[in-house]
Amino acid sequence: MAKEILKITGMHCAACSARVEKVVGKMEGVEKVSVNLATEKATVFFDPDTVSLSSIVEKIEKTGYVAVSFTEMTVVDEDKLRKEKEIQALWDKFIVSAFFAVPLLYIAMGPMIWWLNFPIPSFLAPMQYPLNYAIVQIALTLPILIAGRNFYTDGFRAIINRSPNMDSLIAMGTSAAVLYSSYSVYQITAGNFGAVDNMYFETAGVIITLILLGKSLEAVSKGKTSDAIKKLIGLAPKTAVVIKDNREYEVPIDEVETGYIILVRPGEKIPVDGVVLEGITSVDESMLTGESIPVEKKAGDQVYAASINKNGMIRFEASKVGGDTALAQIIKLVEEAQGSKAPIAKMADIVSGYFVPVVFVIAVLAAAAWLIAGESLVFSLTIFISVLVIACPCALGLATPTAIMVATGKGAEHGILIKGGEALETTHKIDTVIFDKTGTITEGRPEVTDVITVGEIGRNELLQLAASAEKGSEHPLAEAIVKKAEGGGQEMLAIDRFEAIPGYGIEVEIGGRNILLGNSRLMDIRNISRTELSDRSDTLAGEGKTPMYVAADGKLAGIIAVADVVKSSSIDAINMLRSMGIEVAMITGDNRRTAEAIAKQVGITRVLSEVLPQDKSNEVKKLQAEGKKVAMVGDGINDAPALVQADIGIAIGSGTDVAIESADIVLMRSDLMGVPAAVRLSKSTIRNIKQNLFWAFGYNVIGIPIAAGFFHLFGGPLLNPIFAAAAMSLSSVSVLTNALRLKSFRPLG
């Protein structure tokens, strides 16, 4: 099954996107298609053996839209430029139409508002020179109609294709006004000067002008919803300094290949992903992780494209370039998320599919009803135009995707990558979070936590002897001891003899001294009393730590305790989740004693210990069987099945590629505060979407009856078509403006 993202231009409302989905979805070989009005993208899943991409594109274009492939990053830049041109073109059209609409409205309405005494040139007096009056209105209206010609070409084409949209409503409404006014002009030429009162050129002109204004504001707002993507793309440097034959060459970023040696000076951006070969520096990776504190980098460490080299010069070998870099993958992920649909959008999609035909029927029936009731043709025409113009499927179509666009972009800014609208929506329903222990709640690497001495050997000497003994070992506990000693500036001592004792520990000779390092059983078989530290050892073990005894020349010297320490953010994150009413559990393969010790530290009461990797997903199923909405948070390959099984899988960005691929949400920082932040973002987004949908539905539920004259039956107002146009434009802009409020989201505020 192939997946392709298409850029579709020419869509103006939800009816357009629904039409594309319907037409493409019916094609043989197309499994699924999702069209996002806000991003103007269609995500198509299809069988390339049954249907080709070119035939899908052709089908879309026959429907009246333009479709192009959207697979390369460079296209994003092109799309940005196209958007900017589109916004400028809309503003230009609005300025032209407004230039002619203002005098048109003045001339048309001036004689009617006699109490304001607007001065009208004598040769345009409607009663004395009705033909002059009519010709000037026609002359002012024509440029406006030309500026808004797309409404007519797209609107009537959509009707011919049996997929009427918002442009169709505008085209029909304003065309009715212009045609009726033209008939009145004909009557004037025939000598019926009273027909001068039946001209509605200003209605058509002002409606088009107001809608062009609304479209311009809408396009600007839409552009702001994708600011996150634009920022990410703008981060990537355009060139790189490559080292060849000990010489420096500045080359375009597109020419950099894996294996190239790249030089980065202080203050410069890192052009591609790679591994440091020479130099020590600190790197600002906030664009990837959201973490503002620079990360120290030395030989062997990973560096990422678009991160900023702060204070040292480094050389590194390029490992990932182009679309394979971490930045490119993030951009791709965010784009796909922004192009996706949330389940909550289905209702709006269904309504939008029937919206335009229903509105047209209402307009015809309302106009006919008033005509039958004895009202004039002019009155009925006003009703017809008002109903067509006030209806706004745009607001319905934009309600969900704009909120998702802003939310996923905002999440990316804070190192929270959400893979789609469905994940974003489901997250707000989560009532149980299961954390993996190792590497998730804890750092995932052992550290020395306690150094306890007895006898004459001091703390630093004990650590030095233990580290020297373990220097050659690759065991994680040994590495922790060595790292602790080296971090304290301890010098490693030469070893004269080394013997591993499997299951117990090691025995070495250092400077003529016999050193034993291992578990309690090693001390027992060598008849070394550990009475002094026995209780302390049990206490350490009860805290989830691994105590290792050290003996020198047959006497107990002390204990070095090593543990996988809890992350600094774990306690705060878990407390925050609990304050949100979310149950928290921990799952681990460790023994119950160690697991409960860690759980106690972070405030977790529900512990699932001694769980085999393959059984983690079963534990998730058990909780789901209790009716719970479960989120699983993990970092390892062994967590992948559970991440998939959970309603929402959340992977720690420092984890394995398999875990990240299996997850619905990726936290780029190894910081569990991202979990409550993701839940808060989801809740804020869903609340925003519901507000948008309420406004969009409410606007049409109230506006259409007013336009149809329902309230006029009881002495209420009759809606002027000009005010209907203003209200329609306002509705779309209001929905977009509300969605943009999500840009103020703060993870903890």
Residue in this structure with the two tokens 């999440």, named with its chain if needed:
411
Instruction: Tokens for 236, please give them.
Output: 């990537």
pLDDT at 72: 43
Q: Are 82 and 33 in contact (CB under 8 A)?
A: no
Helix (H) or strand (E) run with residue 36 in it: strand 30-36
Q: Amino acid identity, residue 529?
A: S
Q: pTM for the full model?
A: 0.67
Rounded-to-integer distance, Cα 611 and Cα 606, Å = 14
373 burial class (0-12, 13-18, 19+ CB within 10 angstroms)? exposed
553 carries an active-site annotation: no
Residues 6+ apart with CB under 8 A from 453: 459, 462, 557, 558
DSSP 32: E
List 79, 167, 284, 436, catalytic entry = 436
Convert the pLDDT of each residue in 639-650 to its tens digit.
778 888 889 988
114: exposed, middle or buried (C-beta count within 10 Å: 0-12, 13-18, 19+)?
A: exposed
Query: From residue 492, how far is each of 167, 485, 489, 693 by CA, in Å?
Result: 79, 8, 10, 68
Residues in the chain: 749
Segments of the chain scoring below 50 in pLDDT: 72-76, 656
**Per-residue pLDDT tens digits for 279-334:** 888 888 766 655 556 778 888 888 888 888 888 889 999 998 887 787 777 676 66
650: which strand partners? 633, 665
Instruction: Collect all residues with Cβ–Cβ distance below 8 Å to 515 and sequence separation of at least 6.
Output: 465, 466, 469, 507, 508, 509, 550, 551, 552
Are 10 and 17 in contact, with CB atoms under 8 Å apart?
no
Q: What pLDDT is attached to residue 667? A: 86
User: Do 686 and 423 form a contact (C-beta atoms < 8 A)?
Assistant: no
How far is it, in rounded angstroms, from Cα 628 to Cα 630? Answer: 6
Q: Name residue 436's beta-bridge partners.
A: 587
